[in-house]
Structure 1
Amino acid sequence: MIGSLRGEVLERELDGTALVEVAGVGYRVNVTERTLAELEPGTETFLYIHHHVTETAESLFGFRAKDERITFHHLIKTNGVGPTLAMAVLATHPPAALVDIVSNNDIGAMTLVSGVGKKTAERLLVELRDRLSVPMLDGGGDVSSSAVADVREALTGLGYGPDEIRDVLRDLPSDAPSATLLRDALKSLGAKRA
Structure 2
Amino acid sequence: MIAHLTGTVTAVRPTSAVIDVGGLGLEVACTARALSRLRPGEPGHVETSLQVRQEVFTLFGFVDPTEREAFEMLLGVNSVGPKLALAILSLLEPATLVTAIRTEDIHGLTRVPGVGKKSAERILVELKDKIVRLGVEPEPGTPVSTGPDRPLWREQVSSGLQGLGWSAKDAEAACDTVEPLVAEDASLGVAQLMRAALQSLAK
TM-score between both structures, scaled by the size of structure 1: 0.72
**What does residue range 108-147 of structure 1 map to in structure 2 within 5 Å?**
108-133=107-132, 143-145=140-142
Q: Out of 124-133 and 63-72, give the one that drifted further.
A: 124-133
Aligned to 2:186: none
Task: Evaluate the alpha carbon distance shift between residue 24 and residue 132 of structure 1 in structure 2; reply closer, same or farther with a 3 A threshold.
Answer: same
Aligned to 1:42: 41
C-alpha separation in 1, matches of 2:152 and 2:44 = 32
Q: Higher RCO, 1 or 2 (CA under 8 Å, sep at least 6)?
A: 2
**Match of 2:28, SS?**
strand
Alpha-carbon distance, 1:27 to partner:
0.6
Give the gaps of 5 or more residues in structure 1. Answer: 135-140, 169-188
Q: Which runs of 4+ in 1 moved over 2 A?
A: 159-168
The amino acid of 2:16's aligned partner reads T
Task: Evaluate the alpha carbon distance shift between residue 167 and residue 94 of structure 1 in structure 2; reply closer, same or farther with a 3 A threshold.
Answer: farther
Task: Evaluate the alpha carbon distance shift between residue 47 and residue 162 of structure 1 in structure 2; reply closer, same or farther with a 3 A threshold.
Answer: closer
**Cα pair 1:92 1:112 within 8 Å, conserved:** no
1:104-137 residue CA offsets vs partner (Å, 9 max, x unmatched): 0011110121111222212211111122128xxx
Task: Evaluate the alpha carbon distance shift between residue 142 and residue 56 of structure 1 in structure 2; reply closer, same or farther with a 3 A threshold.
Answer: closer
**Match of 2:39, SS?**
coil
C-alpha separation in 2, matches of 1:64 and 1:110 = 21
**Cα pair 1:112 1:163 within 8 Å, conserved:** no
Task: Evaluate the alpha carbon distance shift between residue 95 and residue 53 of structure 1 in structure 2; reply closer, same or farther with a 3 A threshold.
Answer: same
**Match of 2:141, SS?**
helix
Aligned residues: 162
Greater Rg by CA: 1
The amino acid of 1:89's aligned partner reads I
Q: Aligned residues: percent identity?
A: 34
**Residues 1:86 and 2:85 are matched in the alignment:** yes
Give the gaps of 5 or more residues in structure 2. Answer: 159-171, 177-203
Alpha-carbon distance, 1:142 to partner:
7.3
Aligned to 1:161: 151
